[in-house]
Amino acid sequence: MFNTLSQIIFGRLTPSDFVHDPIMAGAGYAMIGGLVLVVLALTYFKKWKWLWRTWLTSLDPKKIGVMYLIVSVIMLLRGLADVLLLRTQQATNGSAGILTSDHFQQIFSAHGTIMIFFVAMGVIFGIFNLIIPSQIGARDVAFPLLNSISFWLFAAGMIIINAPLVVGEFSTAGWLAYPPLSELQYSPGVGVDYWIWSLQIAGIGSLLSGINFFVTIIKMRAPGMKLMMMPIFAWSVLCCTSLIMFAFPILTATLGMLSLDRLLGMHFFTSGGGGNPMLYVNLIWAWGHPEVYILVLPAFGIFSEVVATFSGKKLFGYTSMVVALVAITILSFTVWLHHFFTMGAGADVNTFFGIMTMVIAIPTGVKVFNWIFTMYRGRVRFTTPMLWFMGFIVTFTLGGVAGVLMSVPPADFQFHNSLFLVAHFHTMIVGGVLFGAFAGFAYWFPKFTGFTLNERLGRYAFWLWIVGFLLAFVPLYILGFMGATRRLDHYDPSLGWQGLFIVAGVGVLLICAGVAMQVLQVIVSIVKRNQNRVGEDPWNGRTLEWSIASPPQVYNYTVIPTVTYRDEFWEMKRRHHTIKPEYTDIWLPKNSATGIIVGLFALIFGVAVVWHVVWLVIVGVIGVIVTLIIRLTSDETEEKLTAAEVAKRELKRQTV
């Protein structure tokens, strides 16, 4: 009687699910402790109202962008803490005895998932929110409320993926949870469910965000800005968001089928009963390979802006760059099978996908040459964004060769699932996406704060990162040649791998020092902000976002510019053309709590499904639907900023 009642109320949750080993418990308590501290601080300083009004319910993409970045940075620290544990385990070959196999497997599964979904994706969406509207001469995104909902779904997914630190356990099936390992037969616990529902909820947020920015770029460009006049970053985002729109539904469907297998005992991907795990492997990579380009295309865009600005010169081969971006976008859907040449598809199929994969190297190579030639006959200023650019070209080219190497199927048979592969994709994602994000962060930071980042600390961070990066990943390439597979929590000492794992561990420590330096850089820059105050255009920028105030007004532009050139702002400065201020009424979206409430119900829904609490699942679903209906029936979603008010704000800004 008591048992059935508790099952109805709590599903499969029991008190013992809160018991964890010391490391997980420590991480969990640290997180909860941090949260409690934040709550106390907010209460003490009476900042709740401010937080609610200026941030949580804001529909201003600049605010939402900052929130994305904050979540991503916290998740980066979590992902890094995971790495420290993984590499300590491997460098000591398990003799330290801090992790069991099970815990080790939970950590690498969490590391991969968090770094891709909650760091890399968060960073790119953060940057889209901050840059895209102002770069294309718009005041806002196409669907401001949808933008807020996307963010809160992302935040809900983030909370679900961290929940296992406190209650239950995480998946041990790796970041892509291949069945049959991820099926009920082999993973009956809540781990895989946490993984599924975290990604499902965050993934829907990503899809909505992708649609939002695609429409924003297509429909809201400033008058005169034809597609071939768009800044190349906007082009890269256009390509990236089209990939999101095509790829993320595949993820949603795949996760949906896996969850039906697990919840209702269906047989999509089980190894018996008519299921087919190979189908899952195909589907997940049909999303997963485009996902790689979803992450890296915006980074390409950032580097294109950075190298042109700091070379004081037009981007070399703009048309080639656009053609290359579009080619990569299309090709990225034709290569997914290279993730499993070893599944036995046969020589003809493997040859096709191998060649398609190497074909992608052509447009990518063209981009590299064009970036380098943007510096040719320029005046290159080696600020931190440029250092990241140089580091990117070096690592990305080397990682690219490793990628081409693995696109040859018989060579891949020797590298697949080895540490060589692990080193390769880290070279691309760290050296490409993360370095791109760092370059973009340093580049656009003054736009949103009004002061620059400390250059000296930025340089130190760069050097720590690049040396740490080499130390962390070159040993993994070598280990791959030695036959070391990924995801091993211990290995036969006679194989002689330990020395390389120790070097890799030292590399991780240097990377951590680099991250600490970056945190210090931000703190020092904020403290000494008065020494680094800059105006609208600190770098002699080329694109429209540099023509508006730093930090920008909520409406970005008082007068929407008319575009006649590719590097519009650069040409404006050259021709001494200024836009005559003219103040009109501006309509802005009102703050809305819909996003955060939808996120909250999605969170409730996710956790309830994981623990099989049926009544709470219903509460979550109904909550989301009712919240949306309430919002849809409301008419007053915008408010007017009068011309007089705009004039007052502009005047105030100019006198400061």
Partner 1 sequence: MRKDKKRSLKRPIQVVLSSVVAIIIITALVYVTRGRDIPVLNPHGIIADQERNLILLTVGLGLLVVVPVFIMLFTIAWRYRASNTKAVYQPDFSSHKGFEALWWGLPCLIILTLAIITGIYTHALDPFKPIDSQVKPVTIQVISLQWKWLFIYPDQKIATLNYVDIPKDTPINFMISSDAPMNSFWIPALAGQVYAMSGMSTQLHLMSNSVGSYVGTSANISGDGFADMHFKVNSMSESDFATWTQKAAVSTSSLANTDYKKLAEPSHDSSEATYKLTDASLYNEVIMKYTSPGGSM
**Minimum distance from CB of 79 to partner 1 (Å)?**
19
**Minimum distance from CB of 528 to partner 1 (Å)?**
21
In this structure, are residues 165 and 81 in contact, taking their beta carbons and an 8 Å threshold? no
Looking only at the bridges linking them, the beta strands covering 638-641 and 586-589 are antiparallel
Neighbours of 176 (CB within 10 A): 19
CA dihedral 148, 149, 154, 155 (to 10 degrees): 70
The closest of 260, 237, 252 to 284, measured between CA atoms, is 252
Is residue 77 exposed (0-12), middle (13-18) or buried (19+ Cβ within 10 Å)? middle
Q: Closer to partner 1 at the Cβ: 150 or 418?
A: 418
Q: Give CA angle at 489 (483, 492), nearest 5°.
A: 55
Q: Closer to partner 1 at the Cβ: 118 or 396?
A: 396
**Minimum distance from CB of 308 to partner 1 (Å)?**
9
Q: Closer to partner 1 at the Cβ: 140 or 412?
A: 412
**Minimum distance from CB of 202 to partner 1 (Å)?**
23
Q: Closer to partner 1 at the Cβ: 84 or 390?
A: 390
Q: Closer to partner 1 at the Cβ: 205 or 403?
A: 403
Residue 505 token pair = 């561990």
Length of the chain: 656
Q: Closer to partner 1 at the Cβ: 69 or 296?
A: 296
**Minimum distance from CB of 357 to partner 1 (Å)?**
9
Q: Which amino acid is at 142?
A: A
**Minimum distance from CB of 32 to partner 1 (Å)?**
28
Peptide bond into 551 cis (omega under 30): yes
Q: Closer to partner 1 at the Cβ: 10 or 373?
A: 373
In this structure, are residues 304 and 389 in contact, taking their beta carbons and an 8 Å threshold? no
Q: Closer to partner 1 at the Cβ: 97 or 272?
A: 272
Round to whole Å and give the CA distance between 412 and 402.
10
Peptide bond into 180 cis (omega under 30): yes
Q: Is 299 helix (H, G, I), strand (E, B) or coil?
A: helix
**Minimum distance from CB of 499 to partner 1 (Å)?**
3
**Minimum distance from CB of 160 to partner 1 (Å)?**
22
**Minimum distance from CB of 460 to partner 1 (Å)?**
12
Residue 167 token pair = 């209650």
**Minimum distance from CB of 325 to partner 1 (Å)?**
14
**Minimum distance from CB of 470 to partner 1 (Å)?**
6
Q: Closer to partner 1 at the Cβ: 418 or 592?
A: 418
The radius of gyration of the chain from alpha carbons, rounded to an integer in Å, stands at 25
Round to whole Å and give the CA distance between 135 and 99.
48
Spell out the residues 6+ positions from residue 154 whose beta carbon is closer than 8 angstroms to its own. 68, 71, 118, 121, 122, 125, 202, 205, 206, 209
Q: Closer to partner 1 at the Cβ: 124 or 176?
A: 176
Q: Closer to partner 1 at the Cβ: 7 or 101?
A: 101
Round to whole Å and give the CA distance between 180 and 278.
10
CA 85 to mean position of chain CA atoms: 22
Residue 177 Ramachandran class (φ > 0 left, ψ -120 to 50 alpha, else beta): left
Q: Closer to partner 1 at the Cβ: 480 or 599?
A: 480
Spell out the residues 6+ positions from residue 277 whose beta carbon is closer than 8 angstroms to its own. 178, 179, 180, 269, 270, 271
Round to whole Å and give the CA distance between 441 and 427.
20
Q: Is 272 helix (H, G, I), strand (E, B) or coil?
A: coil
**Minimum distance from CB of 549 to partner 1 (Å)?**
26
